[in-house]
Chain A
């Protein structure tokens, strides 16, 4: 246990040092994730809060929370893995007694830590500009919301890791992830709260893992009413499905790995 903790500490601190080298790029990435705030402006401008049974302040809080959730659930493992597999950089990782999954996970968590000051600055600016965002939920809800945001990140990381395994069969597997972008944007609650959807579409969204990635943690974070146990059980069920699938594909993929470029 002590060894595992040390490994986690070292991996995270070294990856954090690495990410700090790219802080300017990460700040730009943080800025490029403004979609929920743009949607907030659109929905507010349309005066749609009433139709969604939400007060204007609650709508503001939801989109601000969705912005925060989005910032801390960004996953790019497929892009680095594809490049590592093609360039041969995966080979040294495979020759060490640590599953590469953990390195990529540590890199993502370190990147999130690098984002914190930029995200806080953007939230502060929006907070100061938007009078309706007053009345935040109690700290316990915020803390729970942030914890669930991390679970949402893990779920997203796991889903993309499963798709990443296609890199063993195709040299351009990252394109597959782009296919998932549209359902993710619409069904996760990023462009509109799920309440805005017609019942049929809401049921369809509920059958996918996407609402667990944005809507559920964002509602928690913004102090909205949620079925906490039901939401956590849904996340656990998706993770329980994706993890064995990932391990299965990893094993099958390695048999096809040609260690190109190495």
Chain B
């Protein structure tokens, strides 16, 4: 039986419709006009217990709005949603004990106090006994490689340490369903990797269901077998990551620092030029040609430095919709 089930989910926001300039301001003051902006339209999907699902989409696509409806923060304008058998917007205590939402941009920890103080509050709010809370904090802190940081004021922690402490606070009550909204946003590569490892480990140990949004393809490839792709509020794809990767990101980004400056035509046959500025060139190279292309680049040009990255999800999705590969 599905643990998350959404059927025909929709959400519209009423926003003021004001024209620019003095005339528009005066008209808006006298006769205020509004319009309904649909943020999510007719979204349906089901997620089974223990699944780790990636939720992809460009900025403003409707990912966060959907997460807010699934957690009960906002009421859907249309459709139905059930999470662990509850209607989220009713926000019953039993439902709130079952879920957690981690927002990379927002924090629940008290800024001027050490994380341990916020953890004490969370333990009391969720009715976790003091001894049990200490045990869980110790266990999660070990998994997250947190120690003395828990005794320092949150404002003195690095972004990565803060994010890990946020995760600890969000998981103290052992939720069965995790909603993660950009959990690695702004973290450096090492911190991103540690957070991913932790989430994978947590999922393995507890069998928790995870729905994750991220701008980093690395998060999705490391954690998710299945992805949902949302575009302009509509669900465009629901399936395996492998299939989507072939359709979505058949390219990798190769960035080279060269010993000399070359004209664009010098890179013909090496891939699509994404940018060329002085000694630095960024190329989009087909995945199946990657090894051969790198060998040719190294043998053709005086390469000083070379990096291979996944293009940002935003860019891949933009390309995908421009090319009409999904629809």
Contact = CB atoms under 8 A, between A and B. Distances in A.
Interface of A: 3, 6-7, 9-11, 14, 17-18, 21, 88-89, 91-92, 94-98, 254-255, 257-259, 261-262
A95 B112 contact: no
A97 B13 CA distance: 27
B127 A94 contact: no
B121 A18 contact: no
Nearest to A8: B124
Given A17-B113, A95-B72, A262-B106, A3 B121 contact: no
Nearest to A6: B124
Interface string B69-92: 001111100000000000000010
B96 interface: yes
Contacts of A10: 120-121, 123-124
Contacts of A14: 110, 113, 117-118, 120-121
Contacts of B121: 10-11, 14
B124 A11 contact: yes
A37 B238 CA distance: 69
Contact of B117 (A17, A98, A258): A17
B167 interface: no
Contacts of B118: 14
Contacts, number: 75
A262 B93 contact: no
Contact of B73 (A6, A9, A95): A95
Contact of A97 (B64, B71, B96, B105): B96
A89 to B, nearest CB: 7
B127 to A, nearest CB: 5
B68 A92 contact: no
B125 A97 contact: yes
A259 B68 contact: yes
Given A10-B121, A92-B106, 15 more contacts: A9-B124, A10-B123, A10-B124, A11-B121, A14-B113, A18-B113, A89-B106, A91-B73, A92-B108, A95-B72, A97-B125, A97-B126, A98-B125, A255-B75, A262-B103
A176 B96 CA distance: 33
B100 interface: yes
21 contacts: A10-B120, A10-B121, A14-B110, A14-B113, A14-B117, A14-B118, A14-B121, A17-B117, A91-B73, A91-B103, A95-B73, A95-B96, A95-B101, A96-B125, A96-B126, A97-B93, A254-B75, A255-B75, A257-B74, A262-B64, A262-B73
A10 B72 CA distance: 26
B122 interface: yes
Given A21-B112, A262-B73, A7 B125 contact: yes
A89 B108 CA distance: 7
Nearest to A87: B106
A88 B124 contact: no
A8 to B, nearest CB: 9
Contacts of B72: 94-95
Contacts of A262: 64, 68, 73, 103, 105-106
What is the interface of chain B mostly: helix, strand, loop, or mixed?
A: mixed
Interface in B222-274: none
Contacts of A257: 73-74
B74 to A, nearest CB: 5
Residue from B74, B99, B101, B112 whose CB has the most chain A CB atoms within 10 Å: B74
A259 to B, nearest CB: 4
A95 to B, nearest CB: 6
B74 A21 contact: no
Q: Which 10 interchain pairs have the tightest Cβ spacing?
A: A92-B108, A97-B93, A10-B124, A259-B73, A7-B124, A97-B96, A21-B112, A98-B125, A14-B117, A259-B68
B129 to A, nearest CB: 9
A96 B96 contact: yes
Contacts of A96: 96, 122, 125-126
B97 interface: yes
Contacts of A7: 124-125
Contacts of A98: 125
A157 to B, nearest CB: 20
A98 B74 CA distance: 17
A92 B96 CA distance: 11
Nearest to A7: B124
Interface string B46-82: 0000000000000000001000100111110000000
Given A3-B127, A11-B121, A255-B75, A97 B68 contact: no
Nearest to A19: B112
Contacts of A259: 68, 73-74
Contacts of A17: 113, 117
Contacts of A97: 93, 96-97, 125-126
Given A3-B127, A18-B110, A94 B117 contact: no
Contact of A95 (B13, B64, B71, B113): B71
Nearest to B169: A92
Contacts of A3: 124, 127
Contacts of B93: 97
Contacts of B91: 94-95
